[in-house]
Amino acid sequence: MIEADEISFHPLTQKLWRDFELLFGERGACGGCWCMFWKLRGKAFDENKGEGNRQMQKSVVDAKHVPGLLAYVDGYPTGWVAIEPRNQYPKLAHSRVLKPVDDQEVWSITCLFVEKNHRRKGVAIQLIRAAVEHAKKNGAKIIEGYPVEAKKDEPPPFVFTGTASAFQQAGFLEVARRSPARPIFRFYVKKGE
């Protein structure tokens, strides 16, 4: 396990773009996504897989908008979490399973990516906790996650939204489930935090 004092988190900025590229590699983490899956609907995502998605994410960062946080261990980028207000992710609003639970303003954790040599060491849980702190600093009162329900000792093939157990360990509560394998979790910021 990687301890809290061994890992640091930094908002993705222009200065750290090369680290983001290093972490995601040539394939953009998974199939040319570059963490644009929830931001683009239908054909737009498929048509931009690869370089198009990379350029769109870079333009977000170049516009001084922070789409998430990078995790570092020993100065090396080892993880990523996407965290922004839910309205930045149009695909969520049109999802039958992940449509809004209510009309409250929430921030959404939509993607977790951990470099393969650092997986199963608690990095995802720490990324979720760091995302909560980042959202709180930016005024969030509710943070949502959309994990997959992993079977015991058999992680699902697409866990880029995280696992339910990781969100539970980070203090999130299940608030809705419209699909057996896809719950909606929330973290409620306590008054005064």
Sequence spans of domains, the chain: 4-188
Q: What residues have CB less than 8 Å from 131, skipping those under 6 apart?
A: 68, 69, 81, 83, 109, 143
Q: Supply the CATH classification number for the domain 4-188.
A: 3.40.630.30
Q: pLDDT digit string (tens) for 154-165?
A: 665 668 999 999
Instruction: Specify the pLDDT at position 175.
Output: 98
102-121 pLDDT tens trace:
999 999 999 999 999 999 89
Predicted pLDDT of residue 192: 77
By the 8 A CB rule, do 125 and 169 touch? yes
pTM of the entire predicted model = 0.95
